Amino acid sequence: MSYHGGEFDVIVVGAGHAGVEAGLASARMGADTLMLTLNLDAVAFMPCNPSVGGPAKGIVVREIDALGGEMARNIDKTHIQMRMLNTGKGPAVRALRAQADKFTYQQEMKETIEDTENLILRQGMVEDLIVENGAVRGVITQTGAKYYAETVVITTGTYLRGKVILGELSYESGPNNMQPSVNLSYRLQEMGFEMERFKTGTPPRVNGNSIDYSKTEKQPGDDVARAFSFETTEYITDQLPCWLTYTNEETHSLINDNLQRSPMYSGMVEGTGPRYCPSIEDKIVRFHDKPRHQIFLEPEGRSTKEVYVQGLSTSLPEDVQHRILKSVPGLENVRMMRPGYAIEYDAIVPTQLWPSLETKKISGLFTAGQINGTSGYEEAAGQGIMAGINAALAAQNRDPLILDRSEAYIGVLIDDLVTKGTNEPYRLLTSRAEYRLLLRHDNADFRLLEKGYQAGLISNDRYERFKNKEKEIDAEVQRLRKAVIKPDETVNQVMADAGTAQMKEALAADVILKRPEISYEHIAQLTPPPKTLAPEVAEQVEITVKYEGYIAKQMEQVDKLKNMENKKIPENLDYMQINGIAYEARQKLSEVRPLSVAQASRVSGVNPSDISVLLVYLEQGNLQRTSEPETETPASN
Amino acid sequence: MDFDTIAAISTPMGEGAIGIVRLSGGDSLPIADKLYKGKHPLAQASTHTINYGHLIDPDVNETVEEVMVSVLRGPKTYTKEDMVEINCHGGITSVNRVLQLVLNNGARLAEPGEFTKRAFLNGRIDLSQAEGVMDLIQAKTERAMNVAMNQVEGKLAERIQRLRQELLETVAHVEVNIDYPEFDAEEMTLEVLRTKGGAVREDIDRLLRTAHQGKILREGLSTVIIGRPNVGKSSLLNSLVHENKAIVTDIPGTTRDVVEEYVNVRGVPLRLLDTAGIRETEDKVERIGVERSRKLVGEGELVLVVVNQNEPLTEEDQELFRLTEGHDAIIIVNKNDLEDRIDLARVKEIAGDRPVVTTSLLEDRGVDELEEAIRGLFFEGDLETGDMSYVSNSRHIALLTDAKKAVDEAMTAAEEGMPVDMVQIDITKAWELLGEVIGDQVNESLIDQLFAQFCLGK
Ligand SMILES: Cc1cc2nc3c(=O)[nH]c(=O)nc-3n(C[C@H](O)[C@H](O)[C@H](O)COP(=O)(O)OP(=O)(O)OC[C@H]3O[C@@H](n4cnc5c(N)ncnc54)[C@H](O)[C@@H]3O)c2cc1C
Ligand SMILES: Nc1nc2c(ncn2[C@@H]2O[C@H](COP(=O)(O)OP(=O)(O)OP(=O)(O)O)[C@@H](O)[C@H]2O)c(=O)[nH]1
Ligand SMILES: [Mg+2]
């Protein structure tokens, strides 16, 4: 009953947020790519909140764009509102968030995939892998198709042995009553992969027609047109608002009274849930002093009345959910359309991966997205594009692309996963990045576009435009350093208008720009550039000059660490024989097998003293090697 | 890991009747066996045994010493390597000779602290323990020992931990504003950051101030005794150390060179320096002594000025008072068993706020008061004598200084109106630096704090 389904360079299993980026990247790099997924009507499906971006996550979306990915472009075409967050803070933490029309988001993404050359999208459930001599050769589907490929990327999200839990009820299922993926999970375990069991949850959806919005606060999108992609030129202007309301004492006592019926407290749940997405019952128990919690009402799209009730994630029984909803101002007469639920699933322990996202056990096999222990669309998409790139590179016999922590949030994310692992679903936070000021929303193209171009994901056209932007910024910064501004009446009028102190002596323009009250526009008044700059160029000039000191400091730290990043560790180093390293650290290092001393130092349970010993050890090895007689004869010509 | 074999004298030079030459490394036993003659070769001895025998110089085949040799096989040794300890009769010459023999036969002279470094590199002890032990090795007084011990036990760590927790809560607050902008947590303002930063800076400052004390506790407070000839300076040194270390005669100008002694006075370690009497003189030898005394006053952290109660104040005495102005100093009016010829009121007037103590070193009176005055000077002000969590290690001092600098920079940035998240960069840095002092890793603690402190979620 099995048949030969065809041969490809790369197979991507899954068409969630990780899968679509992986498949698109691979195909765009010229690799013949097959993308298999359970249900073609749920490509890039959002099982939870209908939104993309936010702090850290929004920056990942821009990074994906700079690498030539799709998420940014897709949300730019399909959002219902967009906002820039943290505008009152520094440039490093600014981030975009969009509310998505989740249905057009899916349609748009599906169509993009359908239109992509070298990419075949097909419905099918993968149940097994074909592995020969420790290397993956292909996949086998439920219907008996055997597909062969050089490399395979698995992006099965929350589907592996998925189990939905809703009050006293529980059943095997993927998210949103999709089919779960059971056999593949067992096969992975049989192949020796260590799995962990995680849990996440989602709130109920309600019919917007039954909401009394007058009892809530309106949360509109920004007035200014915004976009995630550096390439977007057409903006959506017609935006829909979200709404804010609060829980109250009644809500809380309802929850307290029914806690014993909650699966989280009755012990029915074995998976570990994320701390940052606690259910409402968790919040009430852990922060019982808090008199109210925020509830955001988010429309799920333009052509639906369904509204997502953010803040009420729960797995309490359905009847309790009805009552909880009705206790909230504005929702007194609400009609629930789908109940909230929790879902448990298998994820693979991500320390079993190299930083390329290739598994250590089976070469040519990559994993990305929620299967790696993360949570979130952007986290999934970020890994997806990297896994797709690396799977294609491997199929083309090229070296992997690995982003380091100072280059991208995606680098931080993947390094954290493969180095430290995670004991709960992992979410990106700005505080996970040590070089936050370098990993900005505005400079993602400077950090990554070149790499996307090298990989073959950026058109010559776009690359050219980027190079020009770079030149313009450079020229303007140089000009400002040399432009001397002498205080006179007009100058000091500009100073007064900006609300900053009068100038007493002549100053270089860049020095003036460093004043907190002064923006690039003021400077352009004082010393106009030869040609008016595009806003994104002006922004870069301003940030480069204004935060020069901070940026330099972080660059210094990066450089300091570069030494350690550059100290490579042989892949098969036997840590167990290095007595100077503490036993626990030896075990951890043997498991993670870091590729550099810097990565080793980030493995949890490894102390600075262990690293000193490791350095001494590597150094000794080097000494021995260099003292061996040279076998090569010097080249002569 | 395999290192070469090192050797060193492990008892302080010249002290005690027995000297020990210690070896560590893979060749410890073979090297010792080249020199050792006993019932059995050391290679056959069980571990952790002491073996009686003689040391032979193999070059001339001549017995050098009667010795007891401890055989200590790794890993149950201080360095986790094979170790040998050769106990020989004291005396600098004989111990040195044994060391020389060992070095001639394949061992390398250990650098200071190298045994501990090996213990560290071989995984026997961790970094902060190693540093504590290094200080222990160098500890010169009983009090310094306590500081070193405390450090090993983590008193300082506790204090720093507390400080870090405060910083962490602040940082977590800023983070929650950044990562959850619409969450209803209060905005952390520059104002709050400034107040918190100020408090933390003060705390670090307080710790750093103990650093000076910590250093003194480790190295001893250098204390210079000056005075005209024959007033009783050497007697003072002897009575503080409770031993006759300096020569005392009734001939003025007895002490010609500086005499140095360590002593612990009520918990204050002193490095006592007795000097030549100071007077204007034509005698060339004495003249040099006088110059040196003057210089020593400049270097001393505490100056003990001795005058003779039996004589009126001289021009030289007053010159000495002037020389020590602005220094931590104590005036000692000695020989009060003899007839009172000094104008004490005048001495006190000139002394100003420098304490004046009257003694008879001959009859051992007034020494208690003097010791009390020394203690008082040292432990004055805001020094907490009780918990003794002094910072005494130079790496820690450097880290604390950097942490303080980071907080300072944060404050300046706040002053300049930088955005909160930028100001916070330096606060986080301070938190990390403090973590380095106690060898803590950054890890997940910030994220743990974030979710413990705030109720976040969807
Ligand atoms: C109930 C719920 C609540 C969530 N809550 C949050 C939240 O609060 N915050 C947050 O950030 N994230 C949340 N998420 C997670 C978010 O949805 C995921 O992180 C993200 O969608 C993961 O993307 P992915 O590509 O890894 O997997 P998914 O988007 O789940 O995609 C998996 C894909 O694999 C396919 N697939 C599975 N098995 C097979 C197979 N054997 N053969 C072929 N194809 C297969 C599926 O059809 C699907 O296309 C939640 C998810 C769920 C289900
Ligand atoms: N009566 C009396 N004699 C003392 C006292 N203290 C010291 N002397 C005597 O004074 C003489 C000089 O004492 P030293 O301690 O040698 O004085 P010094 O200041 O070191 O002298 P130089 O080294 O020569 O400068 C000795 O004979 C001591 O015994 C005291 O309190 N009373
Ligand atoms: Mg003397």
Position B25, amino acid: G
Distance B234 CA to ligand 3 centre (A): 4
> Among the listed ranges A440-454, A510-524, B144-158, which one has the minimum average pLDDT value?
B144-158
Judge whether A148 and A61 are in contact, CB under 8 Å: no
> Tokens at residue B429, please?
């840095």
B422:A608 CB<8 A: no
Residues of B in contact with A279 (CB under 8 A): 457
Q: Say what the pLDDT of residue A563 is.
A: 76
| pLDDT confidence bin for B113, thresholds 50/70/90 | low
A616:B422 CB<8 A: no
d(CA A531, CA B431): 45
Judged by a CB distance cut-off of 8 A, whether residue B186 touches chain A is no
CB atoms within 10 A of CB A493: 12
Pocket test for ligand 2, best of B230, B241, B296, B335 (most atoms within 8 A of CB): B230
A86:B178 CB<8 A: yes
Torsion of CA A622, A628, A632, A633, to 10 degrees: 130
> Which residue, A176, A206, A214, A165, is CA-closest to A322?
A206
Q: Who wins on pLDDT, A1 or A85?
A: A85
A613:B420 CB<8 A: no
Position A365, amino acid: L
Judge whether A93 and A55 are in contact, CB under 8 Å: yes
A432:B447 CB<8 A: yes
Question: A288-307 pLDDT, tens per residue?
Answer: 888 999 999 999 999 999 99
d(CA B437, CA B156): 9
Question: B263-308 pLDDT, tens per residue?
Answer: 778 767 788 888 777 766 556 555 665 676 677 787 788 899 999 9
CA distance, residue A94 to nearest chain B CA (Å): 8
Judged by a CB distance cut-off of 8 A, whether residue B127 touches chain A is yes
Judge whether B294 and B278 are in contact, CB under 8 Å: yes
* CB-side neighbour CA atoms (13 Å) of B36: 28
| pLDDT confidence bin for A104, thresholds 50/70/90 | very high
In three-state secondary structure terms, B157 is helix
Nearest-ligand number for the alpha carbon of B238: 2
Protein residue with its CA nearest to atom 26 in ligand 2: B250
Q: Say what the pLDDT of residue B379 is.
A: 65
> Which residue, B443, B278, B346, is CA-closest to A588?
B443
Distance A523 CA to ligand 1 centre (A): 48
Residues of B in contact with A581 (CB under 8 A): 123
Judge whether A163 and A149 are in contact, CB under 8 Å: no
Residues of A in contact with B177 (CB under 8 A): 89
Q: Say what the pLDDT of residue B457 is.
A: 53
Helix, strand, coil share (%) of chain A residues, nearest 5: 40, 20, 40
Judge whether A72 and A95 are in contact, CB under 8 Å: no
Pairing of strands A126-132, B18-24: unpaired
Residue of A nearest to B168 (CA): A431
Judged by a CB distance cut-off of 8 A, whether residue B198 touches chain A is no
Residues of B in contact with A616 (CB under 8 A): 1, 121
Q: Who wins on pLDDT, A141 or B321?
A: A141
Question: A249-285 pLDDT, tens per residue?
Answer: 999 999 999 998 888 767 777 777 766 667 898 888 8
- CB-closest option in B121, B178, B417 to A580: B121
R_g (Cα) of chain A, nearest Å: 27
Question: A410-448 pLDDT, tens per residue?
Answer: 999 999 999 999 988 999 999 899 899 999 999 999 999
Q: Ligand 1: does its nearest atom lie under 6 Å from the Cβ of A466?
A: no
A277:B458 CB<8 A: yes
Q: Say what the pLDDT of residue B384 is.
A: 38
Q: Ligand 1: does its nearest atom lie under 6 Å from the Cβ of A37?
A: yes
Q: Say what the pLDDT of residue B87 is.
A: 85
DSSP A358-413: BBSSSBTEEE-GGGGTB-SHHHHHHHHHHHHHHHHHHHTT-PPP---TTT-HHHHH
The CA-CA-CA angle for residues B386, B388, B391, to 5°, reads 150
Judged by a CB distance cut-off of 8 A, whether residue B458 touches chain A is yes
pLDDT at A530 over 50: yes
Backbone angles phi, psi at A245, to 5 degrees: -140, -175
pTM of the model: 0.75
- CB-closest option in A85, A431, A517 to B175: A431
pLDDT at A632 over 90: no
Q: List strand residue ranges (DSSP E) for B125-267, in order.
A: 221-227, 259-265
Residues of A in contact with B458 (CB under 8 A): 48-49, 203, 277, 310-311, 313
Q: Say what the pLDDT of residue B326 is.
A: 79
Atom of ligand 2 nearest to the CA of B254: 24
CB atoms within 10 A of CB B348: 14
Question: A458-507 pLDDT, tens per residue?
Answer: 999 999 999 999 999 999 999 999 999 999 998 999 999 999 889 889 99
Question: A179-201 pLDDT, tens per residue?
Answer: 999 999 999 999 999 999 999 99
Q: Say what the pLDDT of residue B283 is.
A: 60
Residue of B nearest to A431 (CA): B175
B458:A85 CB<8 A: no
Cα A453 from chain centre: 20
Distance A376 CA to ligand 3 centre (A): 81
Residues of B in contact with A276 (CB under 8 A): 451, 456-457
Residue with tokens 């001495």: B347
pLDDT at B383 over 50: no
- CB-closest option in B421, B450, B457 to A89: B421
> Among the listed ranges A29-38, A526-535, B287-296, which one has the minimum average pLDDT value?
B287-296
- CB-closest option in A280, A553, A613 to B123: A613
Judge whether B260 and B135 are in contact, CB under 8 Å: no
| ipTM here | 0.79
- Which residues hold their Cβ within 5 A of ligand 3, which is an ion? B 233-234, 254-255
Judged by a CB distance cut-off of 8 A, whether residue B178 touches chain A is yes
Question: B20-29 pLDDT, tens per residue?
Answer: 889 999 999 9
Atom of ligand 2 nearest to the CA of B306: 19
CA distance, residue B435 to nearest chain A CA (Å): 12
B357 CB-near residues (< 8 Å, 6+ apart): B330, B331, B332, B333, B366, B369, B370, B373
Question: A69-90 pLDDT, tens per residue?
Answer: 999 999 999 999 999 999 888 8
Residues of A in contact with B75 (CB under 8 A): 579
Residues of B in contact with A294 (CB under 8 A): 182-184
Q: What is the mean pLDDT of chain A?
A: 92
pLDDT at B259 over 70: yes
Protein residue with its CA nearest to atom 20 in ligand 1: A377
Residue of B nearest to A517 (CA): B417
| pLDDT confidence bin for B386, thresholds 50/70/90 | very low
Q: Say what the pLDDT of residue A631 is.
A: 37
Q: Say what the pLDDT of residue B441 is.
A: 52
> Among the listed ranges A62-76, A151-165, B86-100, which one has the minimum average pLDDT value?
B86-100
Pairing of strands B329-334, B356-358: parallel
Protein residue with its CA nearest to atom 29 in ligand 1: A16
Question: A358-387 pLDDT, tens per residue?
Answer: 999 999 999 999 999 999 999 999 999 999
Interface test with B, best of A218, A245, A429 (most B CBs within 10 A): A429
Residue of B nearest to A585 (CA): B123
DSSP A18-29: HHHHHHHHHHHT
Q: Who wins on pLDDT, A452 or A557?
A: A452
Judged by a CB distance cut-off of 8 A, whether residue B79 touches chain A is no
CA distance, residue B422 to nearest chain A CA (Å): 7
Pocket test for ligand 1, best of A38, A40, A97, A338 (most atoms within 8 A of CB): A38
Q: Say what the pLDDT of residue A50 is.
A: 96
Report the pLDDT averaged over residues A57-77.
98
If contacts are CB pairs under 8 Å, which of residues 332-361 in chain B contact chain A? Answer: none
Give, in order, the Cα–Cα distances in Å from A181 to each of A18, A383, A514. 16, 21, 56
| pLDDT confidence bin for B219, thresholds 50/70/90 | low
Residues of A in contact with B446 (CB under 8 A): 431
| pLDDT confidence bin for B452, thresholds 50/70/90 | low
Pocket test for ligand 1, best of A110, A375, A428, A429 (most atoms within 8 A of CB): A375
